[in-house]
Structure 1
Amino acid sequence: MRSEQDMMRILLDFASEDDRIRLVTLEGSRTNVNIAPDSFQDYDICYFVTDLPFFKDNDDWLQVFGNRLMMQKPEDMELFPAELGNWFSYLIILEDGNKLDLTLIPIDEVDHYWANSDGLVQVLLDKDGRVTDKVIAADRQYWIQKPTARQFDDCCNEFWMVSTYIVKGLARKEILFAIDHLNEIARPNLLRMMAWAIGSEQGYTFSVGKNYKFIDRYLPPADWDKLMTTYTQSSYDSMWQSLFTCYDLFRKYAGAVANNLGYIYPDYDRTISKYTAEIYDSIK
């Protein structure tokens, strides 16, 4: 695998030598001082260009970055609608194992880019001096946010309401329906509540990472182990147990948030726990 120094040299040399590329930025985890570097980090690069069609019309120029194992062009796919407007991106896995996420942006959209930046950006090349303010990458946008009382109630409402869909799916023997609602809605709200509890105890000056990937650093080991068991979903019995464990964890962490922030823990828990028990008992 080529080193970071080698990759950055290739990316910047190419941009420096092509007059159509006027500005280059680096985004993502490689700009975040709070993320330990490793060989799996993507190179999230933006080229701001004067002639977007020139690059889009032919992929041969991408060969300068190395041989490709696979490439995806999200804005050139039919099944998955494009999301970047006039921008065009390449997600590339190179033969040496490096991953390059390269986005082409029309140079006249540079102001739009900065207005929508998440803060994790470094300027690598600025041929025209367009970036006049000092740019310091920071992950502040991803820090745990203190919930309002309404947000706290909304999270509780969503978790307990969606739990009834999981119960219904299990009772009907529709396990895929139940799994999807647990994975896509219920557990994400449990993780949200856990993060809020962590923030209410340790402050709101850090992030637990994308998809809560660092949350284990802040949870008691026993609770982390319990959370992991909720990913056991290969049978109806294991799904019921996963759901009940989510109930226990949500109850604990929502209670902590309510206590720490002076909020009222709503009655959804009591009513839906009773509802769940009745249905569970009726089919066992």
Structure 2
Amino acid sequence: MRSEQEIMDLILSVAKSDSRILAAYLKGSRTNPNVPKDLYRDFDLMYVVTETDSFRQDPAWLDLFGPRILTQEQDSEFGYGDRFGLRTNYQQLYSWLLLLEDGNRIDLGVETVEHMQQGCTRNKLFLPLLDKIGCLPKLPPPSDEDFHVKPPTASQFHGCCNEFFWSLCDVAKGIARDELPFAMTTYHAQARPMLEQMLAWYVGCATDFSISCGKSNKFFRNCLPQPLYQRYTQIYCDSDYQHMWQAIRIACSLFHDAAKDVGAQLGFSYPQADEDGFSQYLTFIQRTLCQANSGGPL
């Protein structure tokens, strides 16, 4: 595997030798002083260019970074362009994800000076590498401040609580119907994000909203008190319905404790009626399952 310095030298060499490239900057985890350094960090690179069309029309220039074992680009169906609404405006911005044979990964974009100056893809994790024409902005040292947990409004707090319990009603209904894909998808795509949002607010309250929990809350293990994190790990379950019921019970207990704490610290009332309504619906589900002899106790 090529070292960080070898990749950085290559990034600069490509920029210096190509007259279409006017400037280069790094963003993402390699600019973040609060992220642990390891071998798996991507090189999130942006080249500021005279135009994007020639880079898109002849992607052979990407071979300069070394043999690739997997590539995705902004216009790929179902790819990151779809996920983040980026399948447009290619004349101003285009990008590729490059997984190289030696294990390094470069997420590489090209953008026009005009697009860069608009700041559409820029945050405080910004590290200038090269500027041939003096076009890059003068910014403070990189900071992950833009990604710190933000305090909720009362409306957001209550909406999170309501969505958590409402989604779990659909999960319970899916289990009762033996619709595993629906139950599991609803649990992980709707209910779990609400629990994780509440836990992020819990972290924010404990740290005066001064840290980030990381992308997809990947730093929960370090941010949450160990007993709370251990409970959190138990909300993940397999396809056994009894295990799903157990995970739901743990998730509800964890949500209740975290939300009560967040509410108390921020002056928000906990919507106990929402939790009670969900509990009542679970009792109904349990009763009908027992009557049908097609499910176990909650």
Change over 3 Å in CA distance of 1:37–1:193 after alignment to 2: same
Matches within 5 A, 1:1-284: 1-75=1-75, 77-80=76-79, 81=82, 83=86, 85-86=89-90, 87-112=93-118, 114-266=119-271, 267-284=273-290
Is there any run of 5+ residues in structure 1 with no aligned partner, and where?
none
Native 8 Å contact 1:72 1:92 kept in 2: yes
Identity of aligned residues (%): 34
Native 8 Å contact 1:20 1:50 kept in 2: yes
1:78 CA displacement? 3.7
Could you state the TM-score of these two structures normalised by the residue count of structure 1?
A: 0.94
Secondary structure (helix, strand or coil) at the match of 1:278 reads: helix
1:273 CA displacement? 1.3
1:115 CA displacement? 4.7
Residues 227-275 of structure 1 show CA distances to partners (whole Å, capped at 9, x for unaligned) of: 2222112211111111111111111101111111221001201111121
Residues 146-199 of structure 1 show CA distances to partners (whole Å, capped at 9, x for unaligned) of: 111111101111111111111110111111101111101111110110111122
CA RMSD of aligned residues (A): 1.5
In structure 1, how many angstroms separate the alpha carbons of the residues matched to 2:137 and 2:215? 30
1:79 CA displacement? 4.5
Query: Letter of the aligned partner of 1:235 in structure 2?
Result: D
After TM superposition, the structure 1 stretch with the greater mean CA deviation from structure 2, 66-75 or 250-259, is 66-75
Query: Letter of the aligned partner of 2:41 in structure 1?
Result: Q
Task: Give the number of aligned pairs.
Answer: 282
Is there any run of 5+ residues in structure 2 with no aligned partner, and where?
291-298
After TM superposition, the structure 1 stretch with the greater mean CA deviation from structure 2, 183-192 or 128-137, is 128-137
Native 8 Å contact 2:51 2:111 kept in 1: no
Native 8 Å contact 2:113 2:135 kept in 1: no
Residues 88-118 of structure 1 show CA distances to partners (whole Å, capped at 9, x for unaligned) of: 1111111111001101112332212x25522
1:135 CA displacement? 4.0
Native 8 Å contact 1:233 1:242 kept in 2: no
Could you state the TM-score of these two structures normalised by the residue count of structure 2?
A: 0.90
Change over 3 Å in CA distance of 1:15–1:139 after alignment to 2: same
Secondary structure (helix, strand or coil) at the match of 1:38 reads: coil
Residues 201-230 of structure 1 show CA distances to partners (whole Å, capped at 9, x for unaligned) of: 221111111111111223233332222222
Native 8 Å contact 1:143 1:207 kept in 2: yes
In structure 1, how many angstroms separate the alpha carbons of the residues matched to 2:223 and 2:216? 15
